[in-house]
Structure 1
Amino acid sequence: MSVEENKRLVARAVAEVINDGDLEAVDRLYAPEIAAAAREWVAPFRTAFPDVRMETVALVGEGDTVVGHFRCSGTQTGPWLGRQATGRAFRDVREVYWFTVRGGRIVDWWGLEDNDDRRRQLRSGDARA
């Protein structure tokens, strides 16, 4: 696959799995050996923040690697990381993820999220507009 095709695959994963909550899409977008882990990563977050939205700020690709810069927003209506639902929203939390794509599927990913900002907003109710 080309770098552009790899970037489109990552964009689909964000749109379908994260934003739409389509966990069945994981089987189409992720390699079989990591599909279960991908679902286990996304499902609790979608339960805690069912209206979550990941905005893609930038996707940069080289070879089989795609790096994405995202801004994440949502409202906590379920438990998250041992904290009960607050009913509060967070806005524009910065996240960066590295994806490895082979054979038309995501075969690995890891990332950094500004969970300090997310927690601060959920505590204070000061979600950015």
Structure 2
Amino acid sequence: MSAEVNKQVVERFDAVVRARDIGLLDELCTPDLVNHALDPSRPAGLEGTREFLSTAAGRFEDDHWRSCRTVAEHDLVVQFGLRVGHWTGGDFLGFPTHHGDYAREAAFAYRLRGGRIAERWAIRDDLTMIRQLGGIRL
């Protein structure tokens, strides 16, 4: 697939994640998806991604890109920008946090195979989010 087609697949995946529409995951992802962004306690692959979107993702209300640059080359696509939203409160990565709005830089990297996402990585500034939500003071 072309880099432009792969970029469109990632943009569709991003919309699916935001809507938590797990019904389209099979179309957009390979059955053996490796989602490096999942907590190790979750099931591997596509099943873990479904589980996350059905449960924990709901704690990130209105999580979306305020600004985003997407770069695609061959089978690789990277999104980088500022993600904003509202956290419902509670434990986040082991830190007790308050509910509230957040803004953090994030990068998501994807490797595609045959026009479907085969691997996904997330690099997020979680420390900034935890600090914004009162989970830690530096």
TM range (shorter): 0.7 to 0.9
3-state DSSP of counterpart to 1:70: strand
Q: Does structure 1 retain, via aligned residues, the 8 Å contact 2:79–2:108?
A: yes
User: What is the one-letter code of the residue matched to 1:95?
Assistant: A
User: What is the one-letter code of the residue matched to 1:21?
Assistant: R
Give the number of aligned pairs.
122
Does 1:111 pair with 2:122? yes
The runs of 5 or more residues in structure 1 that have no matched partner are 125-129
Does 1:27 pair with 2:26? yes
3-state DSSP of counterpart to 2:62: coil
| 2:37 paired residue number | none
Relative to total residues, which structure has the larger strand share, 1 or 2? Answer: 2
User: For residues 101 and 55 of structure 1, do their structure 2 counterparts lie closer, same or farther at Cα, with a shift above 3 Å needed?
Assistant: farther
Give the Cα separation in 1 of the matches to 2:55 and 2:132: 19
Relative to total residues, which structure has the larger helix share, 1 or 2? Answer: 1
When normalised by structure 2's length, the TM-score is: 0.76
| 2:79 paired residue number | 68
Q: Does structure 2 retain, via aligned residues, the 8 Å contact 1:71–1:94?
A: yes
| 2:58 paired residue number | 47
User: For residues 78 and 47 of structure 1, do their structure 2 counterparts lie closer, same or farther at Cα, with a shift above 3 Å needed?
Assistant: farther
Alpha carbon RMSD of aligned pairs, Å? 2.1
Structure 1 window deviating more from structure 2 (40-49 vs 25-34): it is 40-49
3-state DSSP of counterpart to 2:110: strand
**Seq. identity, %:** 30
Q: Does structure 2 retain, via aligned residues, the 8 Å contact 1:48–1:85?
A: no
